[in-house]
Amino acid sequence: MVGDTRSRSAPVHRLERGSAFAVRAEAARLEAAGQDVLHLELGEPDWRPPPAVLDALPAALADGGRRYTEAAGELEVRLQVAAVYSELMGARVDPGRVVLVPGSNMVLYLTLLAVAGHGDEVLLPDPGFPPYAELVRLAGAVPVPYPLRGEAGFLPDADEIGSLVTRRTRLIIVNSPNNPTGSVIPAELIEKIMEVVDDCELYVVFDEAYREFKPGGGRPSLYGDLAEHPRTIFMESLSKSHSMCGWRAGIAITAPELAKDLADLMVNTTCCMPAVVQRIIPAALNSREWVTERVVEAARRRHLVHGELVTMPGIRSAGVGEGLYLFPDITGTGLSDREFSRRLLNETGVSVVPGSVYGRQGAGHVRIACTQSIDRLTEAMRRMRVFLEGMAWPHAIP
């Protein structure tokens, strides 16, 4: 029998492997055994993509998608994407600034390969999307968390971010609305963070996966005054806002020089985004009314879950926030977030993600994805309440 001869220094061994997908796999195991599972772990909306996207498919499939496109994406598509973002940003976005990438995670990974070397440091939010740190490690760089504390509304402190910058720091990642907390960084705080970026000559990635859920109609975190900033990368996704998780439609908007670097990396990795997916992106971006309706529905779901959580024993909710998630504090139960999530799943069939998956500051919380129907969310909250009220409490219920 031949043993595993892979090097222990191979990049895959840098992964810590904590994610909502791991929770989903355990939930699926119980589901296969016959348990009715309420999936509140993945940020995967239950509604279908916009009708205009599905209507655009026949034309997108006209040649079967059999040809490679330019690495950055078909020029005609990038022109349409650039027009949409010019309107959003209130400043001209040239198509040379647009790169179409298979999934927004790859936008970050390619950016890391373009700007950070081995041992360089990348500042990222804690709690934050787990692949941030994993992709940094895979690129050979070092993740440096900047804390988002519950008592501060899960907002960053610009001075604290500045104190974490060293001579090895190359990049900072900013996510608003934040996954998993739903916190939205106000414009004045964004400006302070940009002062750090400029003073230290850093690159900054704005993960805009939940941009459409932001108050004010979904405009990006930065407006026209930074549309041509040489070290800013907007990392856009259609997964959440357009319910297109499986399509892997990511968009990078950045300076022309960096856009060219990303395209060069695409040539040598994924070649290009699938042509069929590229061709439905304009239809998705122009489905404004459909998206607005789904944003309203997402808020309705969050409010329903929040309203239930604040009346449950041992639970303290940080607020409704924006996006798809709630991130309640469960320390009042006397359980760790991992034990709470494990027991909730096994005893009730409600699947949520332990907050510690998202970083040190997430410990003692769980992430609840409000991505199911009102009826399913109501049932999940009923089961969770029964679970909590049936616990043997070691102390007075707060």
pLDDT in tens, 111-121: 999 999 999 99
How sure is the predictor about 222, in pLDDT bands with cuts at 50, 70 and 90?
A: low
How sure is the predictor about 16, in pLDDT bands with cuts at 50, 70 and 90?
A: low
Question: What does the pLDDT look like over 48-72, one tens digit per residue?
Answer: 999 999 999 888 888 767 788 999 9
Alpha-carbon gap, residue 371 to 97, rounded angstroms = 33
Predicted pLDDT of residue 316:
93
How sure is the predictor about 396, in pLDDT bands with cuts at 50, 70 and 90?
A: very low
How sure is the predictor about 397, in pLDDT bands with cuts at 50, 70 and 90?
A: very low
Close Cβ partners of 371 (under 8 Å, ≥ 6 residues apart): 39, 40, 42, 43, 44, 45, 46, 301, 324
Question: What does the pLDDT look like over 122-132, one tens digit per residue?
Answer: 999 999 999 99
Backbone angles phi, psi at 354, to 5 degrees: -60, 135
At 325 the three-state DSSP class reads strand
What is the number of other CB atoms lying within 10 angstroms of the CB of residue 32? 9
Q: Lowest-confidence range among 2-6, 136-140, 301-305, 377-381?
A: 2-6
Query: At residue 12, does pLDDT exceed 80?
Result: no
Angle at 145 between CA 342 and CA 260, to 5 degrees: 110
Burial of 47 (0-12, 13-18, 19+ CB in 10 A): middle
Query: At residue 253, does pLDDT exceed 80?
Result: yes
Compute the residue count for the chain: 398
Region 25-37: mean pLDDT is 84
3-state helix, strand, coil in the chain (%, to 5): 45, 15, 40
Alpha-carbon gap, residue 208 to 238, rounded angstroms = 10
Predicted pLDDT of residue 313:
94
**Cα-Cα-Cα-Cα dihedral sign, residues 240, 243, 246, 250:** negative
Region 169-173: mean pLDDT is 98
Name the average pLDDT for the chain. 90
Predicted pLDDT of residue 398:
44
Predicted pLDDT of residue 35:
85
Region 267-279: mean pLDDT is 92
Predicted pLDDT of residue 214:
81
Region 277-299: mean pLDDT is 93
